[in-house]
Amino acid sequence: MGICAVGETEETPAQHRHPKTVQGALGGLLLGPRAGLARMRCPRPRRPDLGLVLAVATFAVLVLFSLHVSTPPSCLLPEKPLGTPEVLPWPSPPARPRPAPCLANASAAAHPDFAGQPRHVRDFLLYRHCRSFPLLQDASPDKCAQPVFLLLAIKSSPSNYERRELVRRTWGQERQVRGAQLRRLFLVGSAGHQHEARKVNRLLELEARTHGDILQWDFHDSFFNLTLKQVLFLEWQKTRCTDASFVLNGDDDVFAHTDNMVTYLQGLDPDQHLFVGHLIQNVGPIRVSWSKYYVPQVVTREERYPPYCGGGGFLLSRFTAAALRRAAPALDLFPIDDVFLGMCLEREGLKPTSHSGIRTAGVQAPSTRLSSFDPCFYRELLLVHRFLPYEMLLMWDALSQPDFTCGKRAQVF
């Protein structure tokens, strides 16, 4: 309730609270119709006719008394006293039975090293055992109706709207490449703060309706929860897209040369083991607490990681996806998602391998005279990490030119 008060007094402060951010721009987009609705319901007469107003008011008072109505109509009086900070009144989501939330593990907090850990490590330890979360947005039902050759499963943060749009327009287009079907999914959790979450959930609902490519679960999307995202995706795939021959699993800031990937994968058997990417081996947990990858002893006492592929982007076959699905429930969740998949492979007696065309650590230009953005470097590659959205568009455009050649004058930027 209190619609009139919000329409007239809250609109400007709301815009000020989210200045010029991505969320702000979208917030404006989403606020528009709502504010419009408020005004529509409560039109302000331009030239009030005093006699008419009095007559209507008298009639209304009489009706109120005759019906013994005790609550005032919402458009005459706001329910909350003016000046109370108002929570933006999104329409509440359709009621669905919510499973009981997973409770924090109190004995994890009793560990002597627990209290001294950074917040995200403590969160991880408290909720490490939670593996089942409701799906908020599902992919369109026909996502895998036709045999899928390559399923693009792209990890994205809830508010990374621009990145998803660019991926949709460029390398992630759902299409056929030499007869092979490509399908696209974004794997998303929920924003951490309640207000933010409600807003971004509306955005994801909109995207899901428009593109049918959103898989969203109701857990806090954070770096240490990426493993959870990975595990939930494998579970979803078991029932919804288990026949896809290959999966590209990657981040939303990579440039994937999906045409080259199809060429590479068409020579391979989806029912054999395949797990290729940027291979990382002979490393172990980082024990310095300022690092993004900090993993304290209270999480693992192990000093080495099994070989794994950098999580920015890797390819796997349906054979290997099934193996990971078998191994994951038997292992404790580990906060670093790509390492966790290495642990799953090890448990299944499988090895990740390296592909020289997958560069999740970036690309070195062969000479200082050439820009590392030259599309000719990318012509032979499968995947490169860290692209800005506009760079994706430029690269896609350059690689898609029918007369694209890498001669003396290939550099277009």
Who contacts 335 (Cβ-Cβ below 8 Å, separation ≥6)? 121, 124, 223, 224, 227, 295, 299
Burial of 352 (0-12, 13-18, 19+ CB in 10 A): buried
Closest approach of Cβ 343 to ligand NAG, in Å?
17
**Beta carbon nearer to ligand NAG, 170 or 225:** 225
Q: Rule CB under 6 A: is residue 229 a binding residue for ligand NAG?
A: no
Other Cβ atoms closer than 10 A to 8: 15
With binding defined as CB under 6 A, does residue 155 bind ligand NAG? no
Is residue 300 near ligand NAG by the rule CB under 6 A? Answer: no
Q: Which residues have CB under 8 Å from 106's CB, separation 6+?
A: none
- In single-letter form, the type of residue at position 115 comes to A
By the rule CB under 6 A, 224 interacts with ligand NAG: yes
**Please, what's the largest Cα pairwise distance for the chain?**
89
Measured from the CB of residue 100, what is the shortest distance to ligand NAG in angstroms?
13
Confirm or reject binding of residue 198 to ligand NAG (CB under 6 A): no
- State the minimum distance, in angstroms, from the CB of residue 331 to ligand NAG: 12
217 binds ligand NAG (CB under 6 A): no
Nearest Cα to Cα of residue 129 among 300, 332, 296, 302: 332
In the complex with ligand NAG, the residue whose CB is nearer, 337 or 374, is 337
Contacts 24+ apart (CB under 8 A), 290-297: 292/223, 293/336, 294/118, 294/121, 295/335, 295/336, 296/113, 296/117, 296/121, 297/113
Residues ≥6 apart with Cβ < 8 Å to 180: 149, 150, 262, 265, 266
Rounded Cα distance between 187 and 226, Å, is 10
How crowded is residue 130: how many other Cβ atoms within 10 Å of its Cβ? 16
Q: Give yes or no for residue 127 binding ligand NAG (CB under 6 A).
A: yes
- Looking at the Cβ atoms of 224 and 334, the one nearer to ligand NAG is 224
Residue choice 120, 198, 240, 386 for contact with ligand NAG (CB under 6 A) = 120
Task: Give, rounded to a whole angstrom, the gap between the first and last alpha carbons of the chain.
Answer: 55
123 lines the binding site for ligand NAG (CB under 6 A): yes
124 binds ligand NAG (CB under 6 A): yes
Residues paired with 314 in a beta bridge: 249
| Span of 12-20, 26-34, 100-108, 379-387 interacting with ligand NAG by CB under 6 A | 100-108
Among 66, 71, 107, 282, binds ligand NAG (CB under 6 A): 107
Which among 106-114, 171-179, 285-293, 374-382 is the span making contact with ligand NAG, rule CB under 6 A? Answer: 106-114
The residue nearest ligand NAG at its CB is 129
> Looking only at residues 128 through 147 of this chain, which bind ligand NAG when binding is defined by CB under 6 A?
129
Min dist CB 221 to ligand NAG, Å, is 8
| Selection from 134, 309, 332, 310 nearest residue 235 by Cα | 134
224 vs 294 by CB, closer to ligand NAG: 224
Nearest residue (CB) to ligand NAG, 174 versus 196: 196
Question: Which chain residues interact with ligand NAG by CB under 6 A?
Answer: 105, 107-108, 111, 120, 123-124, 127, 129, 219-220, 222, 224-225
